[in-house]
Structure 1
């Protein structure tokens, strides 16, 4: 019984008979767990621990698992915003109450998850997930390109072509996307002598640095940040600091601010 409990815990709390057997659990152990009320049968061939995530149990009852943006979040990929409804993957593709269902393989691979996101979500949100998956080595760019051969999906092909694995954070990805959409030229991870790298350089003039919530994890990080800032001033690279909240809530204001800064410093040259 401890074996089935441990296996279910390792599989997220909800799993099919086949998944449990692949984890080395026998049918006899599964049935023993059910009889002892240590394991619940939530659907034919699907089992759950009593304290499992209700969303996963709901999915399991319909022979579905997390997919698309919901699976991307669980995998630690860059998710711009959490959707109002969980996204699930199911072989049957039938509607499931309170959820968005993607018809596909169960469980979906990382490549499946990225493709679902690119087809389902707004471009920026799909790009962030795809870019982080490539950056983390979970998806290979050639394999991703091969998933979109149809002419009708050329917009996604063009979005995939914009993936930059060297992007350092979701903030950089969001800022770069918004600025490129505005027609500005954006370089990533630009080396500044004496400073290190600058997150983004716009039109060869204006620096952009991502400022995350945990950016200053220590006093040393705070001092290093100030040193880098001072170097940009000395080197004549004016730099804006941007946050996730600004990019998500005020994207047009961010672009306006960048254009205004570019105009100001161009006129001073």
Structure 2
């Protein structure tokens, strides 16, 4: 028989009486765990391990769970920035101190989390979460479209239409969005003979390659990166390298850099 601590650990450290009972834990074992302090009763019908995540404990005390961008980050989806306060979901929808509360089903599905992000976050942040969920196969685009039938949510549906599952990274998604917002034409994963695929091609002229923090994980990766760079030069495709920090911290500077590069190379043609 699985112990109450084992079951709670498998649940992430927090669980309700019904969750524990469904997992086969006898009610007597739950009470025994409380008595010997291996388990804490944090609210009526809600229990936690002593070392459980404080956020999960705080949420559970209010019969809530992580949602929106907080749940997205925990699930490994792309997130532009961590919010100042956690986002939670609760059926009651009441205010919870120090949190943003989304009224909805508990626990939220991946589809729920994506819809919350699209409605709650700035457009780029919502797009990044949604695109990564589609890319990872956690949700399906046709199903996501069906969640926004109301005319008042036309702007969100337009954002959903911009999801590109072939995006290779959060940096590609962010760069593409910023450049499209500036009125530029952006192609993704453009094949360059002898090089492979260029991350982005802007206005059919300027290449964009994205650098993550782990881009050069080995000497061979560094050499391959330089080989690819040299091929773009030989093929006449000037290419800029951009980082997450640039896109997140100085998006206008990034767009201006691309516009200036385009102007320079157009005048040289």
**What band does the TM-score fall into relative to the shorter chain?**
over 0.9
CA offsets 1:2-58 (integer angstroms, 9 cap, x no match):
622122112111122233334333323322221221111111121111011111111
Change (3 A) 1:237 1:23: farther
Using the alignment, how far apart are the partners of 1:24 and 1:173 within structure 2?
44
| Number of equivalences | 269
CA offsets 1:59-104 (integer angstroms, 9 cap, x no match):
0100000000000000000000000000000000000000000000
Instruction: Please show how residues 28-67 of structure 1 align to structure 2 within 5 Å.
Output: 28-67=28-67
SS in 2 for 1:241: strand
Using the alignment, how far apart are the partners of 2:7 and 2:164 within structure 1?
37
- Does the 8 A contact of 2:70 with 2:86 survive in 1? yes
2:204 aligns with 204
- Does the 8 A contact of 2:2 with 2:24 survive in 1? no
SS in 1 for 2:12: coil
Task: Show structure 2 runs of 5+ residues with no match.
Answer: none
SS in 2 for 1:209: strand
Please say which of residues 17-26 and 244-253 is displaced more in the overlay: 17-26
SS in 1 for 2:137: coil
1:77 aligns with 77
1:223 aligns with 223
CA offsets 1:229-248 (integer angstroms, 9 cap, x no match):
11111111111000111001
1:86 aligns with 86
Using the alignment, how far apart are the partners of 1:252 and 1:179 within structure 2?
10
Using the alignment, how far apart are the partners of 2:26 and 2:132 within structure 1?
37
SS in 1 for 2:3: helix
2:26 matches 1:26: yes
- Does the 8 A contact of 2:2 with 2:25 survive in 1? no
Using the alignment, how far apart are the partners of 1:253 and 1:261 within structure 2?
12
2:263 aligns with 263
SS in 2 for 1:88: strand
2:6 aligns with 6
User: TM-score when scaled to structure 2?
Assistant: 0.98
Using the alignment, how far apart are the partners of 1:21 and 1:254 within structure 2?
54
Change (3 A) 1:91 1:261: same
Using the alignment, how far apart are the partners of 1:242 and 1:90 within structure 2?
39
Shift of residue 217 of structure 1?
0.7
2:142 matches 1:128: no
> CA-atom RMSD, angstroms?
1.1
CA offsets 1:193-217 (integer angstroms, 9 cap, x no match):
1111111010011010111111111
User: TM-score when scaled to structure 1?
Assistant: 0.98
Shift of residue 263 of structure 1?
0.6
Task: Show structure 1 runs of 5+ residues with no match.
Answer: none
